[in-house]
Amino acid sequence: METYTKLEVAVRALLQAKERYLQADYVSATILAGAGQKIVRDICKSRGIEPTIKTLSNQSGFTVQEIHNLVVDSYNKMKHADTDPDGFVNVSEEEPRALMTLAATDLMRLKEIKSKEIADFTDFVRMIKGQPQQS
């Protein structure tokens, strides 16, 4: 059995999200990015650091919940099969891209750019965040 810190778990999930994203496996990328982003956001809160989603809320006038619901629509539908077990989920590169962007920004706020892997991840997010959506 191996033991990991929660931050290590988040980073592993985010790195795998990146790999799945590069392979156009947006279902896996969304699940992994959503889980990693949630862990990093919770660590921010536990350390008294305002998570990026809260900053967006303060600047936009929308509640954190409204922004959260917008960003994680597919992710929530994937993981909550209890509410619509036979339903369908729309999947695109947009949601994992947004989730990885939030996570990368929170990692910077946590000052957790301590390894080449994390630095490479944040550089990757900078590169993809401005790309137009693929058809």
- Checking if the pLDDT of 129 tops 80, the result is no
How far apart are alpha carbons 78 and 84 in whole angstroms? 10
Give domain status of residue 17, yes or no: yes
C-alpha 36/C-alpha 33 separation (Å) is 5
Sequence-separated (6 or more) residues with CB below 8 Å from residue 124: 18, 100
Average pLDDT over residues 83-106: 90
Please state the rounded mean pLDDT for residues 66-93: 83
Asked if the model's pLDDT at residue 86 lies above 50, the reply is yes
8 Å CB contact between 81 and 31: no
Question: Does residue 131 lie within any of the structural domains?
Answer: no
Which phi-psi region, left, alpha or beta, contains residue 102 (left: φ > 0; alpha: ψ -120 to 50)? alpha
**Whole-number pLDDT of residue 68:** 81
Range of 94's domain? 6-80+89-126
Is 37 part of any domain?
yes
Count of CA atoms in the C-beta half-sphere (13 A) of 43: 23
